[in-house]
C-alpha cells in the first residue's frame, strides 16, 4: 500500500509541477523566468508533500545554469517578462564589475523570492542583484549577511530569517508594502525590536520584515542612529572605535583568515606538503 501511495505522490508531482516546466525547458529565451517559476513551484509544493519538495528543490538548486548574468540577458526577448524588469536588466548590466560565474550557486533557503507573489518574481534580480557592500553580523545571535544601504530609509530583515524569531515578531496588516528604488513593490509582513550585532557591539533597533533579496538591509535609520560613518574608498564602516571591513558579494566566499600550525614545519622551496 505504501508503494502505491508513493507512486501516486510522484505522479501527482510530475503532473502538477514538473511536466509544464520540462516542456518549456527547450526555450533558451524563456529559461531564466522558467527556472525561477519552477523554483517557486517546488517551494510551494511543500504544502502538499514536504518530502518531495525538499528533495526536488535540493537537486534542482544544483542545476541553475540559466540563473546567472550571462544567460539572464536572454529574458529581454521573453514576452512573459514585463518591460520594467527588462529595463532593470539593462541598467544592471551597464556597470563594470559584472560577475563571470557560469552558474548560480543557491541553497533552497537562500532564494527569498520563492514565495513572493508571481508579479514580484523578478528576473532582473539576477543581473547585478548582488552588487553592493556587506558586513557579517547577527540578529539575536543568528549569523546574517547584511547589506549596507544608505539609500534605504529603514532597516529590513528577510521573512525566512524573521520566522526564526517568532517570539519577537509583531505582525502588521498585509496591505502594507514598500516601494523600492526600481519601482518594484515588496510586502511588509511585520516588525520586531531586534538585537543587532555588528563587530563586537550590540544594538537594539526596530527592523521590518519584508520580501527582500538580501538576508538583511542596514538602512539609513540604523546608520544614523548609532553613528556609523561609511568609508566607501576603503570599504570600511566605523562603529565607535572599531573598524569593520565591508566586502562585495563577489568576494563573499573569499575571506582572510589567520591559520596557525600546531608544530613548526619547514617547507622546502618549490614544494608542497600537507600539514
Mean pLDDT, the chain, integer: 75
Q: What is the DSSP string of 217-241?
A: EE-HHHHHHTT--EETTTTEEEETT
Residue 97 has pLDDT above 60, yes or no: no
Distance CA 200, CA 160 (A): 25
Q: Residue 50's Cα: distance from chain center in Å? A: 22
Q: Is the dihedral of CA 126, 128, 134, 139 positive or negative?
A: negative
pLDDT digits 0-9 by tens, 179-193? 665 555 667 888 888
- What is the DSSP-derived secondary structure letter of residue 262? S
> CA nearest 62: which of 85, 44, 84, 39?
39
Chain-centroid distance of CA 44 in Å reads: 18
More confident residue, 61 or 80: 80
Query: Which domains does the chain show, CATH number per domain?
Result: 3-114 (no CATH), 133-248 (2.40.70.10)
| C-alpha to C-alpha distance for 61 and 201, rounded to whole angstroms | 36
Residue that wins the pLDDT comparison between 60 and 48? 48
Q: What whole-number percentage of the chain has pLDDT above 90?
A: 5
Instruction: Quick: pLDDT tens for 148-199.
Output: 888 888 899 888 888 777 656 676 655 666 766 555 566 788 888 889 998 8
Q: Which residue has better confidence, 1 or 238?
A: 238
pLDDT at res. 252? 43
* DSSP-assigned states of every residue in 62-115: T--TTSSHHHHGGGGG-TTS-HHHHHHHHHHTTSS-----SS----GGG-GGGG
* Cell numbers linked to 213: 533579496
Q: How many angstroms separate the CA atoms of 15 and 47, rounded?
A: 16
DSSP string computed for 184-209: -EEEEEEEEEEEEEETTEEEEEEEEE
Residue 207 pLDDT > 60: yes
Does an H or E element contain 38, and which? helix 31-44
CA distance 147 to 19: 38
Q: Between these two residues, 92 and 158, which has the higher pLDDT value?
A: 158
Distance CA 56, CA 49 (A): 11
Amino acid at each position: 500500500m505504501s508503494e502505491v501511495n508513493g507512486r501516486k505522490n510522484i505522479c501527482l508531482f510530475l503532473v502538477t509541477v514538473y511536466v509544464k516546466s520540462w516542456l518549456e525547458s527547450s526555450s533558451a529565451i524563456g529559461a531564466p523566468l522558467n527556472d525561477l517559476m519552477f523554483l517557486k513551484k517546488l517551494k510551494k509544493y511543500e504544502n502538499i508533500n514536504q518530502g518531495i519538495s525538499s528533495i526536488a528543490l535540493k537537486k534542482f538548486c544544483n542545476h541553475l545554469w540559466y540563473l546567472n548574468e550571462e544567460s539572464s540577458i536572454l529574458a529581454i526577448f521573453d514576452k512573459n517578462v514585463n518591460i520594467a524588469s527588462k529595463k532593470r536588466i539593462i541598467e544592471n548590466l551597464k556597470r563594470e564589475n559584472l560577475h563571470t560565474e557560469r552558474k548560480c550557486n543557491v541553497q533552497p533557503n537562500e532564494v527569498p523570492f520563492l514565495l513572493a507573489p508571481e508579479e514580484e518574481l523578478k528576473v532582473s534580480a539576477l543581473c547585478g542583484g548582488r552588487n553592493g557592500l556587506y558586513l557579517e553580523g547577527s540578529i539575536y545571535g543568528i549569523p546574517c549577511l547584511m547589506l549596507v544601504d544608505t539609500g534605504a530609509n529603514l532597516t529590513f530583515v528577510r521573512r525566512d530569517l524573521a520566522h526564526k524569531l517568532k517570539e519577537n515578531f509583531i505582525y502588521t496588516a498585509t496591505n502594507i508594502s514598500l516601494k523600492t528604488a526600481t519601482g518594484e513593490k515588496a510586502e511588509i509582513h511585520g516588525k520586531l525590536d531586534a538585537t543587532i550585532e555588528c563587530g563586537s557591539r550590540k544594538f537594539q533597533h526596530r527592523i521590518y520584515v519584508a520580501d527582500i533579496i538580501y538576508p538583511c538591509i542596514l538602512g539609513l535609520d540604523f546608520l544614523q542612529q548609532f553613528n556609523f560613518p561609511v568609508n566607501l574608498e576603503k570599504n570600511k564602516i566605523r562603529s565607535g572605535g572599531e573598524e569593520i571591513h565591508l566586502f562585495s558579494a563577489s568576494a563573499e566566499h573569499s575571506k582572510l583568515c589567520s591559520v596557525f600550525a600546531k608544530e613548526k614545519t619547514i617547507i622546502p622551496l618549490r614544494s608542497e606538503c600537507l600539514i
